[in-house]
Chains A and B, each alone.
Chain A
Amino acid sequence: MTRRSMLQGLGGLGALGATGSLAACGSAGAQGVGDLAYWHLLSGPDGVTMTELVDGYTATDGAPGVKQTVLAWGAPYYTKLAMASSGGRAPDLAVMHAARVPGYAPGGLLDEWDLDLLGEFGVKKEDFPELIWDKMVVDDKLTCIALDSHPFVLYYNTDIADAAGVLGSDGLLLPTNTPEDFRELALELGAKSPSGYGLSWGYLGDGSNQWRMFSTYYTQLGGTIELPEGGTMQYQEELVVQTAEWILSLIDGEVGNPGNDGGTAISEFATGSTGAFYGGVWESGSYRNEGVPFDMTVIPGVFGEPAAYADSHSFVLPHQSSPDEAKRRSVHEMVAYLLKNSISWAGAGHIPAYSPVVQDPAYAKLIPQSHYADAIDHLVYDPPAWFTGSGSDFHTYFGNDMQNVWARRTSPLEGWNAFVARINDLLAKPSPM
């Protein structure tokens, strides 16, 4: 038995050496450029659309193969991406949320994009809206290429809204300009909803969704947040309280369900039992599949200018110790292809960042996409810091401390102050990047 197991072991080791060296060489031996390793965190309807887009690219002349790896959204993905980049054997291309890029870039985990090379494939600076371009450049370096912006918006059930008489002659939700108007509208929706609730918002256990809601209304009220490294968090306390009280008034058991988690809120709206739903544009694909009649709009600016919490899926070049020039070139080509064809990405609900696509008449025909396209002028990203962005600790901490506020276990200021204390702790430390 010993000898046999040793022999087996030897065989295994031999194979190990063989595959080990194969893996080390990669597929560089293949004709042209080897497969591009591409990581992202898009699954469900987003993942399907991305797969189709990538297949479209690989079908073009001379394109290399692309190997997609999909990791779970949020911390698991970002942790792995950082670890791979620090190991120097990172994928050739990856998707990151734009708001997380400022935290990554200074640490040397990301390589710079070559604008000239992109230009060769027909992508220029002028093709991006200013708000988004600002997010793409970090420390004067073109660090990420935005594919889209995906704002937090309001979905509404068109049948219920029609029955409640809150649709205009154009078939769109009537505008509301004051908190009272909006509450009134929500109550009218609720009166016609099977569940009795006009609004659905899921927050339990979902820090990101709590932050999206808060950020949207806080910004409407004119609130700002700054996170200076080595300093303390800067914000407007009265506006924080006002925002929290407003959100509480929407989940008071009359307008909306006081204790929803993300899944329940989605299923409430998907089964047509509530009138409206606060959520990211990325849910639209699932709702379409469910067959619920719905439309979408920018969250009404009841306190002033509308605001739409958003982030952008963007392409980054994770740091490689010795990048292959041919592959880098292909990656630029691939990204240019994906941008130019992002009309199908719009199908998943996102607003393409590449302006020529949005300005194309084809986009105006997309419904409900074109109904919230003006969100692009009201985007609010996370305040920059090394710990903010989609699925970041910032969101997690916000959720940890504010969940008790929404569940009415602590006062708004108590929850907020606990959150601020944790953020100040993070600010007091030097950024690990």
Chain B
Amino acid sequence: MTTADGVTVPRTSPRPNAALTGGPISEGRRRRRRAENIRGWVYCLPFLIAFGLFLIWPTIYGLWMSFTGTSLAGTKTGFVGLANWTEALGDANVWTSLANTAVFTVLSSIPLVLIAMGLAILVNVGLPGQWFWRLAFFLPFLLASTVVSKFWNWMYNPQLGLVNTVLGWFGITGPAWLQDPSTAMISVVITTVWWTIGFNFLLYLAALQNIPDQLYEAASLDGAGRWRKFRSITVPQLAPTTVLVLVLQLLSSLKVFDQIYQMTSGGPGGDTRPVLLYIYEVGFTGYRLGYASAISYIFFFMIIIVSLAYMVISSRRSVKA
């Protein structure tokens, strides 16, 4: 940042009076600096209070809770050492829910990146009806998870839903999509792709519009075909966006809760239960807040690993660039 004192102070203090009297300069400066110190903190204070109280404190307090037997009923808050942690590491449900989270993340992230890119490229060709494409693909992103789940629960309804009705026209008896272990996860993934693709789509669209036209013009002069230009201009130019979109997508898919809670409650038989849902069940349905905190932290560490991986990748990229 270029706000070092050396740059700003000479410019803001061409005060002849102060400059003339020598000694008081530093006195005035010190006073001003003290005032600036106080003012800086005062301006930051409202945010910092909220930040400390609702983000930093729960982060620390949650860690403490993971070493206690805190329950929802407020009883037995004693220190239990590592008991929650060892239990969590040995709890098959923790691992299956982490595995479900991973499966959901992979299954949803791939189409959410690739289809978003494809849609953005198609829309960016400059076909007429731009507002309509944006509306269609982006609109679902604005809907609350509950609304989306209601729409799709209704689509997937085994007897009355549109999906099985349409399949029925072709003589196919569709499964009970959300209740059948073999289709539940993929059904939730389809809903998620439908719901959130608009966000990635917009990021790609913005990235495409930032590719300088000259690159394509130059390539045309060199006689490059459409495919050639796509391969050697569009794809590489989109690479940074793809890394960004992919990481954002991974991070948001890992945090999946809403639509799964609302559509399957983690069922059938826990087959779609992600780790956040398990934390909710353990902590609030099962009353064991302390244990839920321990699981939260295990999950937290995994998120940090993904974030750090991104930082390493992106810093390596910038070094290369």
Chain B residues contacting A108 (CB-CB under 8 Å) are 73-75
Stretch at the interface among B208-216, B222-230, B267-275: B267-275
Chain B residues contacting A79 (CB-CB under 8 Å) are 284-285
* Known contacts A205-B269, A430-B76; A83/B71 CB under 8 A: no
B176 adjacent to A86 (CB under 8 Å): no
**Least CB distance, B275 to chain A, in whole angstroms:** 17
The answer for the CA separation of A204 and B281 in the assembled complex, in Å, is 21
Residues facing B in A161-213 (CB within 8 A) are 204-205
Chain B residues contacting A76 (CB-CB under 8 Å) are 265
A82 adjacent to B284 (CB under 8 Å): yes
Cβ-defined partner of A205 (8 Å) among B71, B75, B87, B267: B267
The answer for the CA separation of A76 and B261 in the assembled complex, in Å, is 10
Shortest Cβ distance from A72 into B: residue: B265
Chain A residues contacting B179 (CB-CB under 8 Å) are 204-205, 261
The answer for the CA separation of A213 and B265 in the assembled complex, in Å, is 24
In terms of DSSP, what is the predominant structure of the interface of chain A?
Answer: helix
The answer for the CA separation of A276 and B76 in the assembled complex, in Å, is 49
Interface status of A403 (Cβ within 8 A of chain B): yes
**Least CB distance, B262 to chain A, in whole angstroms:** 10
Interface status of B69 (Cβ within 8 A of chain A): yes
B287 adjacent to A403 (CB under 8 Å): no
Chain A residues contacting B288 (CB-CB under 8 Å) are 429, 432
Residues facing B in A368-414 (CB within 8 A) are 387, 393, 399-400, 403
Shortest Cβ distance from B84 into A: residue: A429
B176 adjacent to A433 (CB under 8 Å): no
Cβ-defined partner of A432 (8 Å) among B87, B269, B286: B286
Chain B residues contacting A86 (CB-CB under 8 Å) are 72-74
Chain B 274-317 against A: per-residue CB contact (8 Å), 1 yes, 0 no? 00000001001111100000000000000000000000000000
**Least CB distance, B87 to chain A, in whole angstroms:** 8
Q: Which range holds the interface residue count of chain A?
A: 20 to 34
A433 adjacent to B270 (CB under 8 Å): no
The answer for the CA separation of A256 and B79 in the assembled complex, in Å, is 53
The answer for the CA separation of A304 and B158 in the assembled complex, in Å, is 40
Chain B residues contacting A429 (CB-CB under 8 Å) are 87, 288
Residues facing A in B1-15 (CB within 8 A) are none
The answer for the CA separation of A300 and B98 in the assembled complex, in Å, is 45
**Least CB distance, A80 to chain B, in whole angstroms:** 9
Residues facing A in B91-129 (CB within 8 A) are none
B270 adjacent to A432 (CB under 8 Å): no
* Known contacts A205-B179, A261-B176; A433/B286 CB under 8 A: no
Chain A residues contacting B270 (CB-CB under 8 Å) are 400
**Least CB distance, B207 to chain A, in whole angstroms:** 28
B74 adjacent to A82 (CB under 8 Å): no
The answer for the CA separation of A204 and B87 in the assembled complex, in Å, is 30
The answer for the CA separation of A79 and B287 in the assembled complex, in Å, is 8
Chain B residues contacting A205 (CB-CB under 8 Å) are 179, 267-269
Chain B residues contacting A432 (CB-CB under 8 Å) are 69, 71-73, 75-76, 286-288
The answer for the CA separation of A403 and B72 in the assembled complex, in Å, is 31
**Least CB distance, B294 to chain A, in whole angstroms:** 13
**Least CB distance, B92 to chain A, in whole angstroms:** 9
A residues contacting B by CB (< 8 A) are 75-76, 78-79, 82-83, 85-86, 107-109, 204-205, 261, 263, 387, 393, 399-400, 403, 429-430, 432-433
Give 8 closest A-B pairs by Cβ, nearest first. A107-B73, A432-B71, A432-B287, A79-B285, A400-B269, A205-B268, A432-B288, A79-B284
B residues contacting A by CB (< 8 A) are 69, 71-76, 87, 158, 176, 179, 265, 267-270, 281, 284-288
15 contacts between A and B (CB under 8 A): A75-B265, A82-B73, A82-B287, A83-B284, A86-B72, A107-B287, A204-B179, A204-B268, A205-B268, A261-B176, A387-B286, A400-B270, A430-B69, A432-B71, A432-B75
Known: A107-B73, A430-B76. 12 other contacts (CB 8 A): A75-B265, A86-B74, A108-B73, A108-B75, A205-B269, A261-B179, A263-B158, A387-B286, A432-B76, A432-B287, A432-B288, A433-B75
